[in-house]
Amino acid sequence: MAECALSLASSSSVLSRISPTRFSPIRRPILLTSSFVAGKPLFCSHPHRRNSVLSTNSWRSQCRTKASMAERVSAKVEVYDSEEELAVALAKYTADLSEKFCKERDAFTVVVSGGSLIKSLRKLVEPPYIDSIDWSKWHVFWVDERVVPKDHPDSNYLLAYDGFLSKIPIPAGHVYAINDALSAEAAADDYETCLRHLVKSKILDISKESGFPKFDVMLLGMGPDGHIASLFPGHPLVHEKEKWVTFIKDSPKPPPNRITFTFPVINSSANIVLAIVGAGKADVVHKSLGDDKSSDLLPVQMVSPEGELVWFLDKDAASKL
């Protein structure tokens, strides 16, 4: 098997530049209750409503959608006055999951995306979490990656290293980066082989429901067009049902060559977070969580994990709800 676990100590081109280190506004009381499409053909059945409630931390709503085959998919929507407050809440949520899974299965498998998500994880590398989390049990993966060298500005690995990985005492062998010396197709096959090996070694769970790998949590962002991972609106890859990891050579967003988890893997997760900030994403958030009845699903609307889905929004991203 080609090794997909990246040794941080061997990444000299990155480490030569980086020295690893350790390291309230008034909220409007609003409850957002909405139906939204979130997975396998789903259908909205209730209009979007707003109701006033008392809240001290965030606006919260429990959203439910009706699935084909009479499935029930629930999601929480939490809206914060600022990205800073969102980052604080996201750190606690992640740390709580880490404690839970480390106790249950002696490991915590975490999938991250690129973009603004990494910045929103910054509170994890500050007290109390930098000292309280058992980082030795973490295993970190990428939901998608650009097929570029690890020191390239477009690399999701480099973004995560600069903003997160270099600041936590995670074992080098627990960071699973792509082999960027391969083509996009070969890199995707190599990453899937790595995942299959981790399933056999019991580090990574397998879903009894789907037969696909089951990660403990996926911490994801969303593009302004509603894409997640490297699964873009209207692209055939959103319908891939067999592969665990696939590749794309014609990404609508540069660079064109990428690998990405498929929806069967994403939706087999025990927990998924969608962390979305900024007014530039408000329209897509409204389409996904509001009363839009369009039959054309955006990729973000196809997210439907086996466990919990939580939307972490700042007030700008939620401004059109």
110-122 pLDDT, tens digit each: 999 999 999 999 9
Residue 171 has pLDDT above 90, yes or no: yes
Contact 305, 214 (CB under 8 A): no
| 110 three-class SS | strand
- Quote the pLDDT of residue 293: 67
- Report residue 20's pLDDT band, with 50, 70 and 90 as the boundaries: very low
Closest by CA position to 301, among listed 276, 315, 284, 281:
284
- Alpha carbon distance 120, 216 (integer Å): 19
Mean of pLDDT over the chain: 82
Average pLDDT over residues 278-283: 96
- Report residue 290's pLDDT band, with 50, 70 and 90 as the boundaries: confident
Contact 274, 311 (CB under 8 A): yes
| Percent of the chain residues past pLDDT 70, beyond the cut | 76
| 268 three-class SS | coil
Closest by CA position to 310, among listed 261, 269, 267, 271:
271
Backbone angles phi, psi at 33, to 5 degrees: -120, 120
Residue 48 has pLDDT above 50, yes or no: no
Express each pLDDT in 121-155 by its tens digit: 999 999 999 999 999 999 999 999 999 999 999 99
- Quote the pLDDT of residue 110: 98
- The long-range contacts involving 150-159, CB below 8 angstroms and separated by at least 24 positions, are 150/6, 150/11, 150/13, 150/14, 150/177, 150/180, 151/11, 151/13, 151/14, 151/17, 154/254, 154/255, 155/180, 156/112, 156/113, 156/114, 157/6, 158/14, 159/114, 159/115, 159/118
Residue 247 has pLDDT above 80, yes or no: yes
Backbone angles phi, psi at 306, to 5 degrees: -65, -30
What does DSSP assign to residue 293? -
Residue 61 has pLDDT above 60, yes or no: no
- Quote the pLDDT of residue 119: 97
Which of 70-84, 135-149, 287-301 is the most confident on average? 135-149
| 120 three-class SS | helix
- Report residue 81's pLDDT band, with 50, 70 and 90 as the boundaries: very high
Residue 64 has pLDDT above 70, yes or no: no
Residue 69: HSE in the Cβ half-sphere, 13 Å Cα cutoff: 5
